[in-house]
Chains A and B, each alone.
Chain A
Amino acid sequence: MSAVMIARKVRKWEKLPGKNTFCCDGRVMMARQKGVFYLTVFLIVGTCSLFFAFECPYLAIHLSPAIPVFAIVLFLFVMALLLRTSFSDPGVLPRALPEEATFIEMEIEAANGNVPAGQRPPPRIRNVQINGQIVKLKYCYTCKIFRPPRASHCSICDNCVDRFDHHCPWVGNCVGKRNYRYFYLFTLSLSLLTIYIFTFAIVHVVMRSVDSGFVKTLQDTPGTVLEVLVCFFTLWSVVGLTGFHSYLISLNQTTNEDIKGSWSGKNRLQNPYSHKNIVKNCCEVLCGPAYPSVLDRRGLTQDDLPVPASTATQSNPVPQTTKTTAPLIPNEHTPDDAKPSIADSAIAHAEKRSPSPKKEIPPTPTKVPPLASPETDVEASVIIAKEKAL
């Protein structure tokens, strides 16, 4: 029975659960629906092209050559920030590996004690005290973790995101801890660009109309009309959004918390993350450290080791492994279904598990479940008995 050796480099991003799309071999990470993002790019690039084609030649000569130069700088700044917001990992929290999920399950069981039959078990909540305030951490049934404070699960991307702000279709990605400052600077610079183009388009029309008349000006530069229209409507939304996020930053709040009214003051709940100082809050959000991604998208999975053809077909990618653990933990809506005992499920799951992603353990021993099995108990007791006999 000869085995065919298959060696293929599989990077971790190919096995990540969640509904993200990846490009450039894992360097780029976005949400699945990208249509509105393409519209954003088209609007920005299109409007700026019209500005450079129609306004800039006239204004460079009649006013100042600095005008197009500044416009180019601002345009490049806006595009760089947009692409950074859209393409970066917003702060996705990886799902719990089976051992961690089991450990958390056991802790929950221990904390809940015996639930009388027919009664719903209490909701899975962990209370932590942050800066003197009690904050409830909710359990995520998809990711099998207790969400850290300020994290939330995005249903569009199907990931828990740290310091989740909102999912923005205009940038085609979630906005979270890692890319919030890029998002804010994008909206700020886009506001400036919009105001800039709008102002100079009007100035251009006025200056030209003085020479040639209003109607002839519009006939000479039809692009101007389009620019003014786009900028007018964009102004209200983008400037408003920038203002809203400036308010949130000064209070160190996220959009998600603002919408839910987490720190609105009722029930005496104050924001425990705020430094109570606008400057400090702004500095923390905008000038804080650049957090690294914990996803390791471009790392190699264990599948890059040569595997015999027979086992290669059996090996399940991680998302399927995650799904096979679903029966282990009941979903949010049916918590009172009879749950299999944790030990049995852990053993059954471990036996189904494909070659482990851990570097140090070769495939064969992964058949041994993480919790003690009858075989290991017998062996251990034999060893202990023999050592005592010596």
Chain B
Amino acid sequence: MSTEFHNLQELRHSVSVATKVFIQRDYSQGTTCRFQTKFPSELDSRIERTLLEDTVKTLNSYYAETEKMGGQSYLEGCLACATAYLIFLCMETRYEKMLKKISGYIQEQNEKIYAPRGLLLTDPIERGMRVIEVSVFEDRGSSGSSHSSSVSSGGSSQR
């Protein structure tokens, strides 16, 4: 099996991207932010289906909660309108708070689940909320010592 990456730091400094897979938006329920839970076939060998689906479903639930039309959003809207929206200069909106939470969640998922498998999720906000970009990393030889030693020992045994 390919080498393991032990943490996100190692991943970022030692490897390069081989390919990127994009999880598209799901518009079946309207224009609210929702991503497709269909598993991309390119990732079959890299990660278990259920892990990625769980991540996407959790993200979808966070976005749905943010964009929900409920008492709290109406209250925020009316209060903001009454102050001619000047209150947004000092206060953080509900959406912004939720985006921070989502960013933290993605970071945590990357550290725990995706980096050890050589993958990296990019926060959709950095791609215009259009796609979830999954970067698939390939080991480039100058990474962890375990890999380079296997190459050199393999090389010496070949001679």
Contacts and interface: CB of A to CB of B under 8 A. Distances in A.
Interface of A: 76-77, 80-81, 84, 93-94, 96-97, 99-100, 103, 128-131, 135, 137, 145, 148-150, 163, 182, 185, 272-273, 280, 283-284, 286-292, 294, 296, 360-362, 365, 368, 370-372, 376, 379-380, 383, 386-387, 389-390
Interface string B1-38: 00000000001110011111110010111110000000
Contacts of B125: 292, 294
A131 B88 CA distance: 33
B84 A387 contact: no
A372 B77 CA distance: 50
A290 B31 contact: no
A289 B93 contact: yes
Contact of A379 (B17, B28, B127, B141): B141
A386 B17 contact: no
Identify which of B31, B69, B88, B99 gathers the most chain A CB atoms within 10 Å of its CB: B31
Nearest to A162: B31
Contacts of B133: 99-100
Given A81-B84, A376-B138, A292 B96 contact: yes
Nearest to B72: A289
B84 A80 contact: yes
A284 B73 CA distance: 10
A368 B95 CA distance: 37
Contacts of B67: 288-289
Nearest to A384: B2
Given A288-B77, A390-B150, A93 B31 contact: no
A18 to B, nearest CB: 13
B12 to A, nearest CB: 4
A163 B32 CA distance: 12
Interface of B: 11-13, 16-22, 25, 27-31, 66-67, 69, 73-74, 76-78, 80-81, 84-86, 88, 93-96, 99, 120, 125-131, 133, 138-141, 150-151, 153-155, 157-158
Contact of A145 (B13, B16, B120, B130): B130
A150 B86 CA distance: 28
A290 B19 contact: no
A386 B130 contact: no
A389 B158 contact: yes
Contacts of A288: 67, 69, 73, 77
Nearest to A131: B30
Secondary structure of the A side of the interface?
mixed
Given A96-B130, A100-B131, A390-B153, 14 more contacts: A80-B86, A100-B22, A103-B22, A135-B27, A148-B130, A163-B31, A272-B30, A290-B80, A360-B120, A370-B18, A371-B19, A386-B154, A386-B158, A389-B158
Contacts of B16: 361, 365, 368
Contact of B27 (A128, A145, A287): A128
Nearest to B93: A290
A191 B66 CA distance: 33
Contacts of A182: 85
Given A272-B30, A361-B16, A287 B138 contact: no
Identify which of B17, B86, B131, B153 gathers the most chain A CB atoms within 10 Å of its CB: B17
Contacts of A93: 128, 130
A290 B30 contact: no
A287 B73 contact: yes
Contact of B31 (A150, A185, A361): A150
7 nearest A-B residue pairs (beta carbon): A386-B154, A287-B77, A360-B12, A365-B16, A80-B84, A94-B128, A290-B93
A286 B80 CA distance: 11
Contacts of B85: 80-81, 84, 182
A129 B28 contact: yes
Contact of A294 (B21, B129, B139, B158): B129
Nearest to B82: A77
